[in-house]
A and B are shown apart, each in its own frame.
Chain A
């Protein structure tokens, strides 16, 4: 008997009688579809030590200049160039080596979705977000978020995301609860998370 057949046979024997048609899971919790509250998102992000900048789209370069001016950064290939000030040295991620990515000071990306209730941003590896590694090794992550990407709760985010893409859910800077069960920021991931929340289009 192969390992596969052995494990499956054991589980079939253990389960007992052939299962009845599975009952519908009770889902009486708040479903997707509530309106997203941008102020709540800002409150939650700030509570977990992310720095939030609210501005209009043309002002993004000014924010990046204030956070990363004079430093070397990596950016995903299709990040809008108008977000980058002249004061940063930006390297596009054309299959850079791990060592090259580890050597830069920061990274600027867009995002896929953000969850207001939990203060979470989700990256899905899209062309304006890049490979997972570029948002992991640099110590400063600036993430630009469009207001229509903000959803109310976790069910809304799950409904919007494509599970076939590599997903990274980020809630504040790297942290640990391993010392006396209290949250301490700054372990292996970026120790500084800046979220640039763009004002809704005035159109």
Chain B
């Protein structure tokens, strides 16, 4: 449980938002593994994206130098975070924006709800944002009588299907085209009943459905990919144009951003605008990137609010090894290369942040007690580290967090007993002889009996040899 003291780093509070699953990873993973359609959809999508991403990364002779630069910029940001945020606040304010600070999800939801209520609008349009999913903003708005319309195609599929997102970039990655067609036919008001499952036809259906909403909604809520401290410039990277709609058409724009998204200088964007699209959607550049600085007279929203969110990030920053998880630019490359993610799917991770980055970020944001199984949701193969455009050493973090996670009492007792025995040669020899007796106990291949059975659910128990090395040595 999080206990926060004023001014001390705090974890994300329980009971609000989507960082904690209802069940531990192994139980949820078993359900994903039992769904062959899910595995086919994920296998197809991740294979496609790996090929695309690999091809456009291969076009750049300086990819590794860009990764180095991206990693170094993020490391620098974390050592200067308070100063950079104050600089960002001053620049945004000077350009006509209003900056708000939220220590956790509850405060952020309250701030945004009050800002929307003050406009008198009972509907907002949203462009996909991990931060607002993390804090459960849609639920908070709903409780205040405000309808939040998700405008990203995949978010719309999830919202209409009353489903949960399962991927950072493509929240509906677990659905194939035929399933998406069924969801649209069932839940999209006014949809053409002759809709086919041709992807362009599905995209066109979403275009028609959202057009009127874009033109008539007065408030939009977005996240941010980057915020430049030096100039106060915000950037949103997207594909469909729903982001441009949200950032351009309404009178009021509210942007919710995790504090770690700040970068020091305008020039730093030359690094991240090369890294993000190639690692993320496997494009040389995504179709649309919008950048704005405060308010521009006569163009776009005339009221701009920026909400800076902590919600556990200070707790991540406090761990000198763990803090590199805050380098993440939400590209999802680590999900697309992970053999575990590809088989169990995003829902198994319980948090809005699935896959390898989720396995190291969610437990740190909530406190590792509340997501204790996630650091084990990996084979430590290291593909995620190779794929990460900002060089987060995810395997190192996983091991670090396994060390910090609470261990079952039986395991702790068994390890202490093993250490005691291995310290004492006579006892150790006796234990080896005793282990040999288990060959006759009829449990071969079935693991250990309770209470030690938990250890052998996911591990093979080595068969004790007929003769130990020490015995063989003594007889030579």
Contact = CB atoms under 8 A, between A and B. Distances in A.
A154 to B, nearest CB: 5
Interface residues of B, number: 101
A188 B151 CA distance: 10
Given A136-B244, A154-B270, 8 more contacts: A14-B9, A28-B68, A136-B241, A167-B292, A168-B244, A169-B273, A186-B200, A190-B241
Among B49, B95, B199, B287: residue with most chain A CB under 10 A:
B287
B121 to A, nearest CB: 16
B288 A180 contact: no
Nearest to B289: A169
B288 A189 contact: yes
B392 interface: no
A185 B202 CA distance: 11
20 contacts: A8-B82, A13-B8, A14-B317, A14-B318, A15-B317, A22-B79, A26-B65, A27-B271, A159-B270, A163-B233, A167-B291, A169-B273, A170-B288, A171-B285, A175-B239, A180-B44, A184-B203, A187-B240, A188-B240, A188-B242
Contacts of A5: 7
Given A27-B69, A132-B300, A180 B101 contact: no
B240 A154 contact: no
B80 interface: yes
A155 B270 contact: yes
Interface residues of A, number: 77
B239 A176 contact: yes
B449 to A, nearest CB: 45
Contacts of B176: 180
Contact of B283 (A25, A166, A183): A183
A10 B270 contact: no
Nearest to B231: A163
Nearest to B56: A118
B113 to A, nearest CB: 15
B324 interface: no
Interface in A114-173: 115, 117-120, 125, 131-133, 136, 153-155, 157-159, 163-173
A178 B45 contact: no
B85 interface: yes
A71 interface: no
A11 B102 CA distance: 12
Given A9-B7, A19-B79, A169-B288, A182 B199 contact: yes
A115 B65 contact: no
Interface in B324-347: none
A166 B296 contact: yes
A172 B287 CA distance: 6
Contacts of B228: 163
A26 B72 contact: yes
Nearest to A157: B270
Given A19-B79, A171-B287, A182-B199, A3 B100 contact: yes
A164 B293 contact: yes
A171 B318 contact: no
Contacts of B302: none
B222 interface: no
Interface in A1-36: 1-16, 19-20, 22-23, 25-30, 32
B33 to A, nearest CB: 21
B101 A136 contact: no
A179 interface: yes
Contacts of B73: 25
Contacts of B239: 174-178, 187
A180 B266 contact: no
A95 interface: yes
A51 B292 CA distance: 28
Interface string B207-238: 10011001100000000000010010100000
Contact of B76 (A23, A120, A158, A178): A23
A164 B333 CA distance: 31
Contacts of B207: 186-188
Contacts of B215: 98-99, 102
Contacts of A11: 9, 81-82, 85, 259, 310, 314, 317
A44 interface: yes
Contact of A188 (B199, B245, B318): B245
Contacts of A165: 293, 296
B37 to A, nearest CB: 13
Contacts of B200: 184-186
A181 interface: yes
B97 to A, nearest CB: 13
A153 B59 CA distance: 13
Contact of A13 (B7, B65, B299): B7
Given A120-B285, A131-B299, A188-B242, A182 B48 contact: yes
Among A165, A175, A176: residue with most chain B CB under 10 A:
A176
B218 to A, nearest CB: 11
A180 B170 CA distance: 9
B284 interface: yes
A169 B281 CA distance: 16
B138 interface: no
Contacts of A132: 244, 247-248, 290, 299-300
A26 B68 contact: yes
Contacts of A25: 69, 72-73, 76, 268
Interface string B26-55: 000000000000000100111011000000
Contacts of B293: 163-166
B407 interface: no
A186 B203 contact: yes
Given A158-B266, A177-B170, A133 B102 contact: no
Interface in B49-99: 49, 61-62, 65-66, 68-69, 72-73, 76, 78-82, 85-86, 95
